[in-house]
Structure formats: C-alpha cells, structure tokens
Chains A and B, each alone.
Chain A
Amino acid sequence: MKKVRVIKADYLARVEGEGAMFVKIQDGRVEDVKLKIFEPPRFFEALLQGRKFTEAPDITARICGICPVAYQMSAVHAMEQICGVSLEEPLRELRRLLYCGEWIESHTLHIYMLHAPDFLGYESAIHMAADHAPVVKRGLALKKTGNAIVNLLGGREIHPINVRVGGFYKIPSKQEFQKLGEDLKRARDMAVETARWASTLTFPQFERDYLYVALSHPQEYPFNEGRLISNQGLDLHINQYESRFEEVHVEHSTALHSVFDGDAHYFVGPLARFNLCYDQLSALAKETAEDIGFQPNCGNPFKSILARAIETVYACDEAIRIIENFTPPSAPFVPCQPKAGVGHGCTEAPRGILYHRYTLREDGLIENAKIVPPTSQNQATIEKDLRHFVAQIIDEPDEKIQWQCEQAIRNYDPCISCSTHFLNLEIDRK
C-alpha cells in the first residue's frame, strides 16, 4: 500500500502577504512542493498605462507597504534614464540615505519579528518577548531608527511622499539630519549586537550551490546603481535584463516565476549581495562579519538572517557617513522633461533586485510598464530548497516539518504583496 503524507500551511504566517505551502510525500520521497501565492492580483502594470511618468513613484510604492522606497527608487531611475537626467552627488547620496532607512527598518523587522522566533521556537516576537524582553526591545529600537530616516527624508515611513522623478520635493535641514546622526550611532551599536546575537542561533545544516545575482558597483555596496553580476560570471547592463531573465506564469501562483537563461533558478537578496559584494561593505561591517565567523561563499540560506544583520550594520554606517558629509544640494530636484522612449531601473530592494521598465510617449504618459519584484525571482529557488530540505528531515513528525519548512521559506523574507502579479504551503504525504 502506498503511504501518502500531505504537509501544508494554508496561510503562511510571518510573511508579508497571502501565501501557502504544499508538500506531498509519497513512500518516503518528496513528490511535489509548491509555494502557492494566492494574494489577489492587483494589476499594477495595467493600471500604470496612461498615467503620467511623474506618478509612477507614488503608484508603484503601493505595491508594497514594507519596501515602498525600493519601488520608488526603481521607478525614478527608469524615468530619469528616459529623460536623460543624472543627479548631482548630494541628491544621489540622499537617495542612498533613504534606502539605508528602508534596509534598517525592513531587515530588523524580519530578523526580530518574522524570522528569529523560528530559531528560538516561538510563535511570534510577542511570545518571544515574554522570555527575551531586552532582545525584542533592542529590535524595536533599531527598527525605529530606520523608520526615523524614512520619516524625515521621505515624509512618512510607509509610502513616503518626498520622492520625485529628478530628486526630492524638499530637503530637510542640516540640523534635522544631525539629530538623526546621533540616534544612528546608537543604532549602529545595536546593529553590531544584533549580528553577535544572531550568530548564537542554531542553524540547520543545509547547503546548496546557488546562482546568486546582485547589482555590483565599483565604489559602493549596491543600492541604486550598478551592473548585474552573478557568482557564475554574469556581467550585464541593467538595460539588458530581459535578454537573460524571463518571467513564466505557473498555475499555482498569482506571482510570475523568474528564470535565468531559459530554466536556471537563482537567488537574490541579502545573502546574494553579501556573497557577491562583500568587498564593498564598510570596515565595521566586515569586522563584525569576521567576529561572528560569517564569510562570503556561504551556501546556507538559513544564514540569510546573518547577512541581514551585517547589512544592517552597513546601512547604519553608511547613513552616518552620508549625514556627516551632508552638503545641501543646489536644488531639491533636477527638472525632467519627458520624451518618447524606454527606460530601465534596477535597484536593490531589501529582498533583492527590483526591476522596472517603462515605455513613455512623447507627452510623458506611460505606454507600458513591466515590474519584476525580488520575491518572484526567488520563488523557484524557495521551492527547490523545500524539496531538498524536506528530503533531509523526512523522518520528522509532520508538525515539525511544517514549521521548519516555514522557516526555510522565511529565509527569503518573501514579500507576497510585492509579487505584484500573486503564495499558499500544503504538504501532501502519500
């Protein structure tokens, strides 16, 4: 007689958006794994058609309440490419500062509130706070500082209002930035403590050979600019993204899956960036990574939490650097005149590369838009991880498999609302 086990989570918790997991085990072998996304489709590419190019940053921000800055950054860079505009250094630096705020906020949310509870066996950070109050409070304080950056420079934490094509609407004063700089120094200490604390967690023994993809910039750890590189020799201008990366639509998901060169799965996000761009991290971030014994060429996705922690140290460091060197730009923005053409934007969202492509008409109206969020790029890799990981823990009871699979999914901090286009886990054991 065939023995079938189905392990599933109908509604994945501690991820942003609506997804489920489905694992089917037949006669002790993993038969099928699906990361289902049932987030209702919201059709952003379609509703951008006929809108003005200046509206793209505000509209696309609404794809995701957790990483709106990423959407705004990819959108404005694509539009500026069409307009033929490049920003003076102070404006460019302020955009990096805004991204630092989002990385700190989003990474800390994920480390403390979404992922750490898995490692320590708690249902949530709130449950965890009963035994680890100082840890959770440190997380909240660190997260708050990230939010304070976005709040000051963006106007508010969620769906910032101060970003525009060409720069910003208004530049805060030097005094306001300086006050933030003081908070950031405390936050940087907390970020280092976070990395040390995260390194004491127990990591499942699980490694795979991944194709990592990230932006790379000769002088900087990547936020807004760079070429697309991989650990297998890719070196591509972002405008050529679609010549190598393709989205395919699968039945069990309202998110489109992305593949590289026809069928290869790949890995984007903090671990990819850490592995590929380690040299560009700040001295303190590298020193902290060395201290905790976390080094590039890491193939254990559960250690993404360490990559997030190191990137949080970096983002605090970088934000302090930008604030200390702050010189007010000559104007809050560079005027941009639209013209007919195609523009590409690819920036490093907290979860990985976020690609936008727009075609504009001469009058500045959007003719068509394409948006590829990080989660849909990681989705195929997540499913493959689950397939291998379940095989490794197959003798465990269903409840334990389910929780550990959830933890494996959360390695990628999937942002399902982001998967613009649609996640649900079930385990089916035969």
Chain B
Amino acid sequence: MKKPTLAVWKFASCDGCQLSILDCEDELLAIAGAIDIANFPEASREVKSGPYDISLVEGSITTAHDRERIQEVRKQSKFLIAIGACAISGGIQALKNFAEVDDFINAVYANPQYISTLSDATAIEDHVKVDFSLRGCPVDKGQLLVLIGSLLQGRLPAFSTESVCVSCKRKGNICVMVTQGQACLGPVTNEGCYALCPSYDRACFGCFGPKTMPNTSALADYCAKHQQRSSPDLTRLFRTFNAASPEFKSESLRHEKS
C-alpha cells in the first residue's frame, strides 16, 4: 500500500510547533517509516510535488503573499491540520491587531518602506477550511503523535475539552489562585499541557487557548475583587499567545475600555 504523504507548511511563527516533530526522538524514524515525508523544508531539501494527504500548517497569516499561499496549500491538501496557537488564533504577533500597524513597523525598522505586512495577524481558519486544530504554544508532542497515529488509521483524534483546572485537580496540585493569589487562566483554558504551569507553582497563562464556553468574565471579576487586579492587568492577562481568539479578545477589550 502506498504510504500517505505529509507536508509541513510555515507561516508567521517561531518554528517551535514543527520542531516538535523533530523532537519526537524515539518515534521519528518510525514516523518516517509509516508516512512519506514529501515536503518538510526544515528537515529535508527534497520536495515532492503535491497533492498531499496530510498538511500540517504552522503560523498565522500576516502578509498579502501568505494570504495567497494558504489558498494554494488548501488546494493541495486532503487533510489540513492547523498546529499551534499562531495557526489557530494568530499567536503572539496578533497583539498588533490591537494597535496601529504603522506604529509597529516604525518601532522595529528604520526603513519602513521595505516592509509589507497586513494590519492583522489572522488564524488559518479565517482564510480556508481547517479539518482539525492541534492546540498549544507550542503543541504537545504526545498529542502530535496521537494525531499522526489517528490519521494513519483514517480517523481524527478526540482530545479533552476540559479546562486546565480539571487536570490540575487530578494531579493533586495545590491551587495557585486560591492559596497564592496568582491570576490563573486555568479555569478558562483548554487542557492539553497536563496543568504544567501550576505543577511548577505558577499560574496558567493560556497556551492552549480558551476552552469551550469559558466564563472569562467571572474569572476576571474574581481577580479584580479578590486580588485587586487593575483593568490594565486584566487586559494583559487575556492578551498573550491566544490574544485574538474570540473569547480572550472580547474579555481583554472589556477591560481595556473600562
């Protein structure tokens, strides 16, 4: 039987999510045995032409050129998987969506006329149909392997939609919000990291993005009332690696305006 083909695409990003594939040190050669790695420039010079059975897409859309390129990627892909916070919600660079883009260019480049950029950093799903999203900043290696294994079986995986709080409780962590007064996004963030930050005595900062129907306002109000967090503090709290996700965006705007 012919092996399914894999392509890995990069848009605006840090490379961390695709590096997760090369970080599967114990499994990499087995993956390469089961899948035809047809187009993965970070790992290989060889580029086989599409179409591809599986495309993993990292990064967000920030340039006119990339806006065209993602359409071409979609056309060449049977399954298109968005990997990581940049691809799913725009990533940290989406902070520019909240500012004037010209101010940003002038802050970094002496000759702004050489730079072409769109005003917003946007998710892949804002441009093309996405068949599955793998959360995280970065994605979790274990989930990535489950995803690849599932695709090889012809199905998509079902990952937990619980909050970070649930896995934190299961691990028996002591709550950093209640006992240490830290502002923790655990109650509104989808799990996937096995409550990593609270396990290291720090508050969750939302790498895996909002869970389904998060009660962000109740969390913000708690932090305001019991921790004396100011509006700018609460704005920043929701404005990190998934700042442009609809749920975190509306919550941060609520505090920015207040």
**Chain A contact residues, CB within 8 Å of chain B:** 11-18, 39-47, 49, 51-52, 55, 58-59, 62-66, 68, 109, 113, 117, 123-127, 129, 133, 136-137, 140-141, 143-144, 147, 155-159, 161-162, 164, 169-170, 247-251, 254, 256, 332, 368, 403, 406, 417, 420-421
Residues of chain A lying within 8 A (CB to CB) of residue B193: 156
| CB pair B62 A14 closer than 8 Å | no
Within 8 A of A (CB), among B142-180: none
Residues of chain B lying within 8 A (CB to CB) of residue A43: 93, 96, 104-105, 107-108
What is the CB-to-nearest-CB distance from A166 to chain B, in angstroms, rounded to a whole number? 13
Residues of chain A lying within 8 A (CB to CB) of residue B104: 43, 46-47
What is the CB-to-nearest-CB distance from A137 to chain B, in angstroms, rounded to a whole number? 7
From A44, A49, A59, A65, contact of B15 by CB (8 A): A65
Q: Most A CB atoms within 10 A — which of B91, B93, B108?
A: B108
| CB pair A17 B15 closer than 8 Å | yes
Within 8 A of A (CB), among B173-190: none
Residues of chain A lying within 8 A (CB to CB) of residue B114: 249-251, 254
**Chain B contact residues, CB within 8 Å of chain A:** 10-20, 22-23, 25-26, 28-29, 32, 37, 41-47, 59, 62-63, 66, 91-93, 95-96, 99, 103-105, 107-111, 114-115, 117, 137-138, 141, 193, 196-197, 199-202, 205, 207, 236, 240-241
From B62, B99, B109, B197, contact of A40 by CB (8 A): B62
Q: How far is the CA of A247 from the CA of B95 in the complex (A)?
A: 25
What is the CB-to-nearest-CB distance from A368 to chain B, in angstroms, rounded to a whole number? 8
| CB pair B103 A46 closer than 8 Å | yes
Q: A421 — nearest CB in chain B belongs to which residue? A: B108
Residues of chain A lying within 8 A (CB to CB) of residue B241: 62
| CB pair B93 A14 closer than 8 Å | no
From known contacts A47-B96, A51-B236, infer whether A417 and B22 are also in contact, taking CB-CB under 8 Å.
no
What is the CB-to-nearest-CB distance from A162 to chain B, in angstroms, rounded to a whole number? 5
| CB pair A162 B200 closer than 8 Å | yes
A-B interface, 9 closest residue pairs, ranked by CB to CB distance from nearest: A65-B16, A124-B44, A46-B107, A46-B104, A123-B46, A144-B25, A40-B12, A140-B25, A13-B45
Q: How far is the CA of A65 from the CA of B196 in the complex (A)?
A: 18
| CB pair B46 A127 closer than 8 Å | yes
Q: How far is the CA of A83 from the CA of B35 in the complex (A)?
A: 51
Q: How far is the CA of A164 from the CA of B197 in the complex (A)?
A: 12
| CB pair B200 A42 closer than 8 Å | no
Q: List 17 A-B contacts (CB under 8 A).
A: A39-B12, A40-B66, A47-B95, A64-B15, A65-B14, A68-B16, A113-B22, A123-B44, A126-B44, A129-B29, A156-B138, A156-B196, A251-B111, A254-B114, A332-B201, A403-B45, A417-B13
From known contacts A43-B93, A251-B114, infer whether A147 and B23 are also in contact, taking CB-CB under 8 Å.
yes
Q: How far is the CA of A26 from the CA of B18 in the complex (A)?
A: 39
| CB pair B41 A13 closer than 8 Å | yes
Instruction: Please name 16 further chain A to chain B contacts, defined as beta carbons within 8 Å, in addition to the given A65-B19, A125-B43, A162-B202, sorted by A numbering.
Output: A14-B45, A16-B42, A46-B99, A46-B104, A46-B107, A62-B14, A62-B16, A109-B22, A113-B22, A124-B46, A136-B29, A144-B26, A147-B25, A158-B20, A161-B202, A417-B13
Residues of chain A lying within 8 A (CB to CB) of residue B201: 169-170, 332
Q: A415 — nearest CB in chain B belongs to which residue? A: B15
| CB pair B107 A49 closer than 8 Å | yes
Residues of chain A lying within 8 A (CB to CB) of residue B66: 40
Q: B10 — nearest CB in chain A belongs to which residue? A: A18
| CB pair B138 A421 closer than 8 Å | no
Residues of chain B lying within 8 A (CB to CB) of residue A65: 13-19, 138
Q: Most A CB atoms within 10 A — which of B20, B37, B46, B95?
A: B95
From B20, B47, B63, B93, contact of A47 by CB (8 A): B93
Q: B17 — nearest CB in chain A belongs to which residue? A: A65
Residues of chain B lying within 8 A (CB to CB) of residue A40: 11-12, 59, 62-63, 66, 117
Residues of chain A lying within 8 A (CB to CB) of residue B141: 157
Q: A422 — nearest CB in chain B belongs to which residue? A: B115
Residues of chain B lying within 8 A (CB to CB) of residue A66: 15-16, 19
Q: B37 — nearest CB in chain A belongs to which residue? A: A126
| CB pair B44 A127 closer than 8 Å | yes
Q: How far is the CA of A41 from the CA of B108 in the complex (A)?
A: 9
Residues of chain A lying within 8 A (CB to CB) of residue B13: 65, 417
| CB pair B15 A249 closer than 8 Å | no
Q: How far is the CA of A49 from the CA of B110 in the complex (A)?
A: 17
From A13, A158, A251, contact of B42 by CB (8 A): A13
Q: How far is the CA of A161 from the CA of B185 in the complex (A)?
A: 14
Residues of chain B lying within 8 A (CB to CB) of residue A18: 10
Residues of chain B lying within 8 A (CB to CB) of residue A113: 22, 43
Q: How far is the CA of A147 from the CA of B20 in the complex (A)?
A: 11
From B17, B45, B110, B236, contact of A52 by CB (8 A): B236
